[in-house]
Amino acid sequence: MSASSPYGKKNSYIATGPRSVMDIAIIAAAFIVLVPVLGINRTTDFIIFCIFVLGYNLLYGYMGRLSFGHMLYLGTGAYALTLFTEHVSKNPILAILAGICAGALIGIILGPIIVRTSGACFALINLAFDQVGYFLVIVAFSKYTGGEDGMSAYFGKLPLLDFGKKPVIFGFVLFCLLLTYYLLKKFTSSPYGVLIKSIKENETRVKFLGYNTFAYKWATFIISTSISAFAGALSILNYGYVTPSFIDPSRAVEVIFAALIGGAGSLYGSIIGGVVYMAISNYLASYIPRWEMFLGFALLISVFRFRSGIWGFIVERIEKRHNPSARQS
Partner 1 sequence: MINTIAYGLTIGAILYIISIGLSLTFGTMRIVNFAHGFVYTAGAYLLVTSLPLVRDNFILGAVLAVAAVIPISYVIERFVIRKLYGVSIDYAIIATYAVVLIGIDLIKWIWGAAPIPLSDPVGIDVSLGGVTLPLYRLIIIMLSLIIFLSLSLFFKKTMVGKIVVASLEDKDAARSLGISVDKYFSYVFIIGSCLAALGGVLYAPITSVHPYMGMMVLLISFAVVLVGGLGNVKGTFVSAFVLGMIMAITGRFWGPAAETMVFVVMGIVLIFKPIDV
Site of interaction with partner 1 (CB under 8 A): 1-2, 60, 64, 66, 68, 113, 116-121, 123-125, 127-129, 131-132, 135, 138-140, 250, 253, 256, 260, 290, 292-293, 295-297, 299-300, 303-304, 307
Shortest distance, position 210 Cβ to partner 1, whole Å: 21
17-20 CB contacts, 8 Å cutoff, 24+ apart: 20/182, 20/185
Number of C-beta neighbours around residue 146 at 10 A: 20
60 vs 239, beta carbon nearer partner 1 = 60
Q: Is 133 helix (H, G, I), strand (E, B) or coil?
A: helix
Cα dist. 190→16, 150, 204 in Å?
Answer: 10, 41, 21
Nearest distance, CB of residue 220 and partner 1, angstroms: 16
Q: How far is the CB of 291 from partner 1 (least distance, A)?
A: 8
Q: Residue 187 and residue 35: Cα distance in Å, rounded?
A: 29
Residue 87 Cβ, how far from partner 1 at the closest point, in Å?
Answer: 25
Torsion, Cα of 49, 232, 54, 129 (10° steps) = -120
Nearer to partner 1, 123 or 278 (CB): 123
Min dist. Cβ of residue 56 to partner 1 (A): 13
Taking each helix axis from N to C terminus, what angle separates 267-279 and 40-57, rounded to the nearest 10 degrees?
A: 130
The closest alpha carbon to 267, from 191, 179, 329, belongs to: 179
Residue 60 or 73 having the CB closest to partner 1: 60
Nearer to partner 1, 65 or 185 (CB): 65
Nearest to residue 153, comparing CAs of 238, 244, 264, 56?
238
Nearer to partner 1, 125 or 176 (CB): 125
Q: For residues 102 and 119, what is the distance between their CA atoms, to the nearest angstrom?
A: 26
Provide the minimum distance between the beta carbon of 320 and partner 1 in the complex, in angstroms, as a whole number.
24
CB closer to partner 1, 48 vs 261: 261
Contact (Cβ atoms closer than 8 angstroms) between residue 236 and residue 178: no
